[in-house]
């Protein structure tokens, strides 16, 4: 592990600020500077970009993003013990680190952003990772305020985000992500890279917003995928009965086979179904 700046090593920061990892806050820290630098690189050229980081903790990834040249990092952290550690980083990079002490689930960065492109980069707390992602995927207006999301998830969740029809991981999250973004896994990270190590492997996922997603009402899309995947092994003519008494009319309007199953329907098919449902 080599130094990337003249700030104290992360283990020292954790010791100084009593940052013993709390499970309730999804704290699995990354202390390997080569890995945090790799994540910052995977997030794309950061020059001129405002990065929103969720859960900076002791600041390993934050420092990598600043060293890589991010114009500004807006870092939202719920653990008050970490704020003093982050303030040391802010002092080292004057005007480039904005610390927001609070809950990322309630945070809207738009008031802090200007004309510069903005990006979300985070080693997410896994207990709220899906909720945060769904929030970013369902923003209005669209395209959203970010040009990219580069996020660490448990691999099982990452696989659900990028899954294609026919895969056992394909579900509601895959349809929502595929409707609004192009998503791919950049690389996997072993549990042993984190302190403390989670029991599962993690994956860094990149999501780039589609400028023109297929037009459809987001709530209608959520209703039809909820119904279809709620009984994923049943044929659609059966699973969609929760949407109303006559699912065959909806299926005809969407040009879908009544005997097909949710896991075989591509995003376009669900969009057609959502449009038929919204127009019923
Ligand atoms: N970025 C650091 C790293 O890579 O070492 C820490 C990542 S750790 C997986 C998740 C971080 O999210 C923790 O610092 C935790 O305190 C913070 N966190 C948890 N829930 C949060 C919330 N609701 N809002 C903001 N931060 C949160």
Give per-residue pLDDT as tens, 67-112: 999 999 999 999 999 999 999 999 999 999 999 999 999 999 999 9
Pocket test for ligand 1, best of 13, 51, 55 (most atoms within 8 A of CB): 55
DSSP letter string, 90-153: HHHSTTTEEEEES-GGG--GGGG--SS-EEEEEE--GGGHHHHHHHHHT-SSSS-SEEEEEEEE
Q: Report d(CA 221, CA 275) in Å as an integer.
A: 8
17, 85 Cβ separation under 8 angstroms: yes
Domains, the chain, in order of start with CATH, read 10-209 (3.40.50.150), 218-278 (1.10.8.100)
Ligand 1 shell residues, CB under 6 Å: 25-30, 54-57, 60-61, 76-79, 82, 103-105, 123, 125, 128
In the reported structure, the alpha carbon of residue 238 is separated from the centroid of ligand 1 by a whole-number distance in angstroms of 42
For residue 196, give the DSSP letter.
S
By alpha-carbon position, which residue is closest to atom 11 of ligand 1? Answer: 55
β strands within 13-109, DSSP E: 29-30, 50-54, 72-77, 97-101
Pocket test for ligand 1, best of 13, 18, 23, 26 (most atoms within 8 A of CB): 26
Model confidence at 255, pLDDT cuts 50, 70, 90, reads very high
Q: Who contacts 99 (Cβ-Cβ below 8 Å, separation ≥6)?
A: 56, 75, 77, 83, 86, 87, 90
Is a pLDDT exceeding 90 seen at residue 3? no
Q: Report d(CA 22, CA 272) in Å as an integer.
A: 44
Is a pLDDT exceeding 50 seen at residue 1? no
Mean pLDDT, rounded, for 241-264:
95
* pLDDT score of 237: 96
* Percent of the chain's residues with pLDDT above 70: 99
Mean pLDDT, rounded, for 177-189:
98
Is a pLDDT exceeding 50 seen at residue 2? yes
């Amino acid at each position: 592990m080599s130094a990337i700046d003249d700030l104290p090593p992360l283990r020292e920061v954790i010791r100084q600020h009593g940052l013993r990892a709390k499970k309730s806050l999804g704290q699995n820290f990354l202390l390997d500077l080569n890995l945090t630098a790799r994540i910052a690189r995977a997030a794309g050229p950061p020059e001129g970009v405002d990065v929103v980081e969720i859960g900076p903790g002791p600041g390993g990834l934050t420092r990598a993003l600043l060293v890589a040249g991010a114009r500004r990092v807006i870092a939202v952290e719920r653990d008050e013990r970490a704020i003093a550690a982050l303030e040391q980083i802010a002092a080292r990079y004057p005007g480039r680190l904005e610390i927001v002490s609070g809950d990322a689930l309630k945070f809207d960065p738009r008031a802090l952003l200007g004309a510069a492109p903005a990006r979300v980069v985070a080693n997410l707390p896994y207990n709220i990772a899906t909720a945060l992602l769904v929030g970013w995927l369902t923003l209005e207006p669209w395209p959203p305020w970010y040009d990219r999301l580069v996020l660490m998830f448990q691999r099982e969740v990452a696989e659900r985000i990028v899954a294609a029809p026919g895969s056992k991981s394909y579900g509601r999250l895959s349809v929502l992500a595929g409707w609004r973004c192009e998503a791919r896994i950049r690389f996997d990270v072993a549990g042993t890279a984190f302190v403390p190590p989670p029991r599962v492997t993690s994956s860094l996922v990149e999501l780039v917003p589609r400028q023109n997603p297929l037009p459809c009402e987001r709530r209608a899309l959520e209703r039809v995928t909820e119904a279809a995947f709620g009984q994923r092994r049943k044929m659609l003519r059966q699973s969609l009965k929760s949407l109303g008494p006559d699912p065959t009319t909806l299926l005809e309007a969407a040009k879908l086979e009544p005997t097909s199953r949710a896991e075989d329907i591509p995003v376009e098919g669900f969009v057609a179904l959502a449009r038929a449902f919204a127009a019923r």
